[in-house]
Amino acid sequence: MKRSIVLPVVLLSSSALFAGAQAPAARPASAAPASAPAGPGKIAVIAFQVAVGQTNEFQRNFADLQKKWEPKRQELKKLSDDLDASTKALQAQSSTLSEAEQASRAKAIDDKKKQFDRSAEDAQNDFQQELQGLYSGTASKVYDVLSNYAKENGYTLVLDVAGQQTPILYALPTTDITKTIIEAYNVKSGVPAPPPAAPAPASAPGPQAPKPAAPAPNGPGH
């Protein structure tokens, strides 16, 4: 009975990584310039969560967060391995043990499993809280870069195609400013691109840096 570790699982996909994360709400219309640009309005699209996740600053801080939680991940992995070993041993020795001894060992295993589940759930909640804070802090600054870029280039509307509920069926690739905003933010933050992450050992899979899928017009633990 193999138990998957919660901490690695929660980081294996961008959808899990940004679960519950929301882009900053657009400022009210009254905050826009009084005079709108003459002629047809310019519209752009952006995969906002992808943009935040692919900035050098977020990648760096996320890697630091992974390092911080690695000892806890290893602790949970050891607990899971111990539970698996105890379960297999009980199954292998069941024919030689009395019913009382089987019941005693089964209860001990069940108690350890409950402890593991509580520890894993607490760790996941704490990790997600820190990750949400990391995302929100970066997202607010990325939004400022996006807002300034839109104003300077005469865009009257920027739509976020990352949300599953975004009602966009088609958009020209030339209207997608995701990469442009990522590059602009990297220049403003001054944070260099992180080095390529080394692959984790097969015997001890760990959290991987987020690799959001390329933005598309129709966009998007145990």
- The residue that leads in pLDDT, 57 or 196, is 57
Least confident of 27-31, 74-78, 142-146: 27-31
The string of DSSP letters for 10-47 reads: TTSSHHHHTTT--PPPPPPGGGS-SSPPSSSPEEEEE-
* pLDDT, tens only, 75-123: 999 999 999 999 999 999 988 989 999 999 999 999 999 999 999 999 9
Residues 6+ apart with CB under 8 A from 4: 80, 221, 222
Alpha-carbon distance of 50 to 4, in angstroms, equals 27
Q: What is the pLDDT of residue 120?
A: 95
What percentage of the chain carries pLDDT values higher than 90? 62
* Token code pair at residue 85: 């070993």
| Mean residue pLDDT across the chain | 79
Q: What is the pLDDT of residue 18?
A: 46
Residue with tokens 């602009």: 184
Q: Which pLDDT band holds residue 152 (cuts at 50, 70, 90)?
A: very high
Indicate the domain borders of the chain. 6-20+40-189
* pLDDT, tens only, 120-139: 999 999 999 999 999 999 99
